[in-house]
Structure 1
Amino acid sequence: MCGASRTHFAGASIIETGESGDLYQLKAIRNKFADEWEFRKICDQYSDFSTGRSVLHHAVGIGHFDVCKFLINTVRVDIDVLTYKRDTPLTEAAKRGHVKIVEFLVKHGAEISLPNIEGFTALHYAALNNNRELVELLRIKGAHIETDSVDRTPLQVAASRGNVEAVKSLLSHGANPNFSCAVVDTPLVCAVKSRSFECLKLLLEGKADPNFYVAGLSPMQCAAKEGDTKFLEYLLKAKGDPNSSDKDIHRPIEEAALVHNRAAVEVLFPVTERLAHYPNWTVDGIIEYTHSEEYKKMSQEKLTKRLSVIDFGGLLDAGNKNYYRAIFHYRMASHLDPSNATWVSTRSMWEARTHKSINALLDAQQCFRLKPHCPVPYHRGDNAAAANEIFKKFLKAGLAFLLDPYERKKCHAFRITMFDYFAWLSQMSSAEEILSFSCDD
C-alpha cells in the first residue's frame, strides 16, 4: 500500500473510532505508527469531507471522555482544531452539553471564546440550550459575555427562547441587560416576543431599561400587542413610558389597537396622552380610527419620512467611508421596513466592503428570498452583457468562497464581486427595472 493510500485508510479508520468512541481500536491504530508525529498529524488534518470534523470533534460530540483524554494527553492533538464552520472541539462539546469535557478542554488550554463562522462561541451554545451549569463554568473560566453573533449575544439568545436559567446565570455574571448587537431587539424585547414573563421579570430586576431600544418595536410597543396584559402591566409598573418618541410610527396604545387587542388598549388608555387628530378619544374610538384609511395614510407618510432620514444618514456615512455606521443605518431601516430588499442588499454591499463576508452572504440570501426574481442572469435591456458578466463573476466567487471560506484570495474575490454585484443592483433606477429580470431557459 502506497503512503497516500495508507494515510487515507488510517485517517478514515481514525474518524470511525471517534464516531464510535472505540478507544481500544484507536490505540491499536496508533501502535501501527512508528512515528508518533505522523499519527498526530493525521488526527489533526484528516476530517469528514462534508463537515471538516476531526476525530477530536467526534469524540467530544458523543461525550466520550476517555477518547478525548487519550487524544489530548497522549497523542497531543491540536485542541483548537477547526471544522469548516470554524467550530472548535470546545464549541462542539458545549453544543452537546458535555460539561465535564468542556471543563477538561478549558483546563488543557482550549480557547474559550473562539467564535465560529457565525460568531457563536461555547457560551452562546450554553445559553441556547439553557444549560446553567455550563454557563456558570464558562463565565468562571473567563468566557466573553457580550460576544456578537448572527443570532446576537448570549443574553439575547437566551431571552429570545425564554431560557430562564441561562438568563438568570448570565445576569448574575455581569451581562448587560440593555446591550444589543446589530441593531436588533434588546434582551427585554426578546423576552416579550418569546412570551417569557420570568425572563422579563429577571431582566427588569437586573436594571433593564423598559424604554430603551434602537429600532423596531420598543418593549412597551411589543408588549401592547400581546394578548396577555401582564407583560404590559409589569412594564408600566417598572416605569415604562406609554407615550412615543419622535422615532416611533405608532404609540403603544395604537399598536394594541392595530391588532384589536382591546384589553391592552384599556390598560393603556388612562396613562396615554391624548392625540389631537383622533376624532373620538375613547377605547372604541381609538380602535376604530387606527383601522381607517386616513390613519393608514398618515402612518405610511410617517414611515416614509423616517426611512428617508435613515437612508440619507446611511448614504452620508458611506460617502465618508464610515461603512460600519452605514450598516447600522440600514439595519434600522430593515427593522422598520422588513419586506424591503433594498435595505438588505445595500447593507450586504457594505458588509462585503468591510470584510464581514459571512454577514454579507447571509444578507444576500435574505435579499434573494425577498426578491426571488432579482438575481437571475439575464436582462433584456441595453446593459444585458454587463449585467450577465457581473452576475457570473458573483456566482463563481460565491461558490469558491463556500467551498473554501478560509482561503484569503477566495475571500477577497468574494468580497469584491459581491460589492460589484450589489453596487450594480443599487444603481438600478427602479424596482420595476430589477424585477424585469427573468430566468434564461
Structure 2
Amino acid sequence: MSSSTDAMASPCSHDQFDEPDRGTVLNYIFQAASDDELSIFKELVTIILDNGRGRPKEAIEELRVEDVGQLEGFSALHIAASKGSLEVCRYLVEELLVDVDLVDKEGRTPLLFATYHNGGTAEYLLDHGANQDKADHDGSTLLHYAAELGNCEMVELLLAKGAYVEPVSACGTPLHVAAGKGHYGAMKILLDHNADYNKMVNGVTPLIVATDAKSMKCIKLLVKAGANLKEAAAYTTLHAEKVVSDYFLNCIMEDVDANRDVPFDQGPMLKREIVTSGLISRGSNSLKNKDYVVAAKLYSKAMVLDPDDAVLFSDRSLCWLQLGDGKKALLDANRCRKMRPHWPKACHRQGEALMLLKDYEGASERFWDGLKLDPVDTDIEDALREAMKSLKTSRSRSMRAN
C-alpha cells in the first residue's frame, strides 16, 4: 500500500487511523467479514486489532458485537458464516484456527446462521469440525432452525453430515417444527430419514401440530406415513377449543380409504372412530358455548356411528334439559342408565329430567340411587334435598286442595 490512492481506499492506513477507535475498528472488521473482503479483513485483524502482538486468533475471538439485541455476542465468524463469506471463513478457521463452534449470547454457533443460506459456508464449517448437533440455550439445534425455515437443501445437508433427526426442544422435534410451519418438503425429507411421526412432545404429535396449523398437505403426508389418527382425535376431544374442521375429517377419511396401509376390516372402524371423535369434539365445544341445539344435533350424528356410548346420551340429555324438553331429556337419561346402571351421573340426569317434568317423587328416588352409588357427590346431595323439598310442598298443596 505505497500509493496515496491505496491509503485512501484502505481502512488500514496508519494515516487514517493513528489511534483507531474500538467501535470503528469493530464496524470495519465486521463489514469486511460481511463483504468477504479478505485482504482488508486480514489487515484490520493483524495490523489494527492485534497491533503486531502476534496473537490475532485471541484478538479476533474476543471481538464481539456489544449492542444489545439479536446479534449480541456475534463473532466475526458468525458474521462471515451468516453472509456466506467463504474466504473470510477459511482464513479464520484454517489460518487463525478460530474455534469453529464459538457461541454468541444465546448459545448459537456460526453454523446455525450458515443454515439460513444455501451457500457453501455451512458445508465448509461442517467439513471443518462444526458440531451439527449443537443446541442453543433454548435446546434448538441446527436441524430445528432449518426445518422452521423450510430450507430443504440445508435439512438434507445436515442429515447427510450425520445430524440427529430426533433432537427435542421446547418446540418439539424438527418434524414438529416443520409441521407447525406447513413445510411439506422439509417434512418429507425428515420422514425419509425415519423421523418419528408419532413422537409426543408436550402432549402433542406432529399430526396434532399440523392439524392446528391447518396444513392439509402435511396432514395427508403424516397420515400416509402412519401417524396415529386416534391419538390426534383424542386430543381434539379433550381440547374442545381445538375443533376438528370438516376438511380435516374429509382429508383423513380420504387417506384411510385410499392411501393408508390399513387392514380391510379395520379401515371403516378407524374412519368411524375419527369422525365420531370429531363430532364429539364439536358437540362439546357447542355445549360449552351454550349452543344447545347445535350440540344436540352433533351428538345425534355421533350416536349413529356409536350408539353404545352412554356419555353421548348423558350429554344430549343435558342439552334437552337446557332447552326445557323434559321428555327427551328423560328418554336419553333412561338409555344412559340402562347402559351404565352403576354410573351416578346417569341417575343424576334421570332425576333432573323428572324434576323438569314435576315428578318430584320419581326424581327423589333417582337422586337417592345416585347418592348411594357416590355418597360424597355434593351435587346429587343438593339435588336430592331440593327434590324432597319440592315433593313435600307438592303434597301439602294436594292435601289442601282436597
TM-score of Structure 1 vs Structure 2, range by shorter chain: 0.5 to 0.7
Superposed counterparts of 1:4-403, under 5 Å:
10-11=25-26, 13-32=28-47, 33=50, 38-49=55-66, 50=68, 51-94=72-115, 96-181=116-201, 183-212=202-231, 216-217=235-236, 225-228=244-247, 229-234=249-254, 237=257, 239=267, 240=270, 243=273, 251-257=277-283, 258-259=285-286, 270-276=304-310, 278=312
Structure 1's 161 and 262: CA in aligned 2 closer, same or farther, altered over 3 A? farther
- 2:87, 2:234 → 1: CA distance? 49
Structure 1's 16 and 69: CA in aligned 2 closer, same or farther, altered over 3 A? same
Given that 2:118 and 2:153 are in contact with CA atoms closer than 8 Å, whether structure 1 keeps it comes out as: no
Specify the code of the residue in structure 2 equivalent to 1:193. D
Q: TM-score, normalised by structure 1?
A: 0.55
Given that 2:233 and 2:278 are in contact with CA atoms closer than 8 Å, whether structure 1 keeps it comes out as: no
Given that 1:211 and 1:241 are in contact with CA atoms closer than 8 Å, whether structure 2 keeps it comes out as: no
Larger Rg: 2
Shift of 1:44: 1.2
**1:48 alignment partner, SS class:** coil
Structure 1's 263 and 214: CA in aligned 2 closer, same or farther, altered over 3 A? closer
Partner of 1:383: none
Specify the code of the residue in structure 2 equivalent to 1:212. E
**1:217 alignment partner, SS class:** helix
Q: Which has the higher contact order (CA 8 A, sep 6+)?
A: 1
Question: Equivalent pairs: percent with the same residue?
Answer: 24
Structure 1's 107 and 15: CA in aligned 2 closer, same or farther, altered over 3 A? same
- 1:222, 1:130 → 2: CA distance? 28
Specify the code of the residue in structure 2 equivalent to 1:89. P
Specify the code of the residue in structure 1 equivalent to 2:60. C
Partner of 2:335: none
Given that 1:153 and 1:180 are in contact with CA atoms closer than 8 Å, whether structure 2 keeps it comes out as: no
- 1:11, 1:254 → 2: CA distance? 62
Specify the code of the residue in structure 2 equivalent to 1:38. R
Q: 1:140-184 CA deviation, whole Å, 9 max, x = no partner? A: 111011111121110000111111001100000110111122x23
Aligned residue pairs: how many? 284
Shift of 1:89: 0.4
Shift of 1:225: 2.2
Given that 1:210 and 1:235 are in contact with CA atoms closer than 8 Å, whether structure 2 keeps it comes out as: no
- 1:290, 1:133 → 2: CA distance? 59
Specify the code of the residue in structure 2 equivalent to 1:77. V
Structure 1's 56 and 222: CA in aligned 2 closer, same or farther, altered over 3 A? same
Q: 1:52-71 CA deviation, whole Å, 9 max, x = no partner? A: 00011111112222222222
- 2:152, 2:24 → 1: CA distance? 41
- 2:43, 2:193 → 1: CA distance? 45
Given that 1:127 and 1:157 are in contact with CA atoms closer than 8 Å, whether structure 2 keeps it comes out as: yes
Shift of 1:15: 2.9
Specify the code of the residue in structure 1 equivalent to 2:76. V
Specify the code of the residue in structure 2 equivalent to 1:70. Y
Specify the code of the residue in structure 2 equivalent to 1:171. L
Structure 1's 37 and 162: CA in aligned 2 closer, same or farther, altered over 3 A? farther
Unaligned runs of 5+ in 2: 1-13, 261-266, 287-293, 330-343, 346-402
Specify the code of the residue in structure 2 equivalent to 1:83. D
Q: 1:365-405 CA deviation, whole Å, 9 max, x = no partner? A: xxxxxxxxxxxxxxxxxxxxxxxxxxxxxxxxxxxxxxxxx
Structure 1's 180 and 138: CA in aligned 2 closer, same or farther, altered over 3 A? same
Structure 1's 38 and 90: CA in aligned 2 closer, same or farther, altered over 3 A? same
Unaligned runs of 5+ in 1: 245-249, 295-300, 303-441
Shift of 1:104: 0.7
- 1:58, 1:80 → 2: CA distance? 13
